[in-house]
A and B are shown apart, each in its own frame.
Chain A
Amino acid sequence: EAGVAQSPRYKIIEKRQSVAFWCNPISGHATLYWYQQILGQGPKLLIQFQNNGVVDDSQLPKDRFSAERLKGVDSTLKIQPAKLEDSAVYLCASVGTGDTDEKLFFGSGTQLSVL
């Protein structure tokens, strides 16, 4: 089966610019996550969707970050305006309802550098 697709793989922007990331989860996976992984740290949840509804966005910096999952399939994460501390890898993950292991499937991530 096809994995979680993310684009772009790399992005370099100046601070105060805007940037958007795209994710297409595994077909049929209702739950989708965006994680931020700063170098040397574990993934930190930004937002969790169940179909096209938000389940948890408590750690999303809503003054600059936004995310949507229209039609309950692919998703976009946007940062506007970007700050230096937003430099990180942004990982998208999905999980299949009814999967016995309830394991996450991750994309390869988007590496963002804010200069």
Chain B
Amino acid sequence: EDQVTQSPEALRLQEGESSSLNCSYTVSGLRGLFWYRQDPGKGPEFLFTLYSAGEEKEKERLKATLTKKESFLHITAPKPEDSATYLCACERGTYKYIFGTGTRLKVLA
């Protein structure tokens, strides 16, 4: 059965304290792995798509990486405005997505 697991469930960081979020997956026929950011009361907002092992993408303080079994979202020197829930999703067929449960990140000033 296809499965996407995120860890940790919640993470509290001090401003400037770098860390990584994990997304482990067992998905047959992976077409792409997506990272989304979700703020309270809003829908998820797209961050990155990764397609093959070894691929990396960066945006401001965020960097996403992909291996054959997992993806990491690295947050460098986070700021309070980075506080949000980060969701990982796998595309297992054209336009068919399965989501993880998310990591709730809180960055303290």
A and B from one complex: yes
The complex places the Cα of A53 from the Cα of B44 at a distance, in Å, of 25
> Given contacts A95-B95, A102-B32, are A42 and B100 in contact (CB under 8 A)?
yes
Q: How many residues of A are counted as interface, with CB atoms below 8 angstroms from the partner's CB atoms?
A: 26
Q: Which of A45, A95, A107 contacts B43 (CB 8 A)?
A: A107
A100 → chain B, closest Cβ, in Å?
A: 9
A46 → chain B, closest Cβ, in Å?
A: 13
A102 → chain B, closest Cβ, in Å?
A: 6
- Residue with the greatest number of chain B CB neighbours at <10 A, chosen from A35, A41, A42, A108: A42
- Looking across the interface, which residue of chain A has its beta carbon closest to that of B44? A106
A79 → chain B, closest Cβ, in Å?
A: 19
Q: Which residues of chain B have C-beta atoms less than 8 A from A56's C-beta?
A: 96
The complex places the Cα of A105 from the Cα of B49 at a distance, in Å, of 13
Residues 25-63 (chain B) with a chain A CB within 8 angstroms:
31-32, 34, 36, 41-46, 49
Contact between chains at A108 and B43 (CB < 8 Å): yes
Residues 1-41 (chain A) with a chain B CB within 8 angstroms:
4, 31, 35, 40-41
A51 → chain B, closest Cβ, in Å?
A: 12
Contact between chains at A42 and B32 (CB < 8 Å): no
> Given contacts A48-B96, A102-B32, A102-B95, are A40 and B46 in contact (CB under 8 A)?
no
Q: Which residues of chain A have C-beta atoms less than 8 A from B41's C-beta?
A: 108-109, 111
Q: B93-109 toward A: CB 8 Å interface, digit per residue (1/0)?
A: 01111111110000000
Q: B residues bordering A, Cβ < 8 Å? A: 4, 6, 31-32, 34, 36, 41-46, 49, 87, 89, 91, 94-102
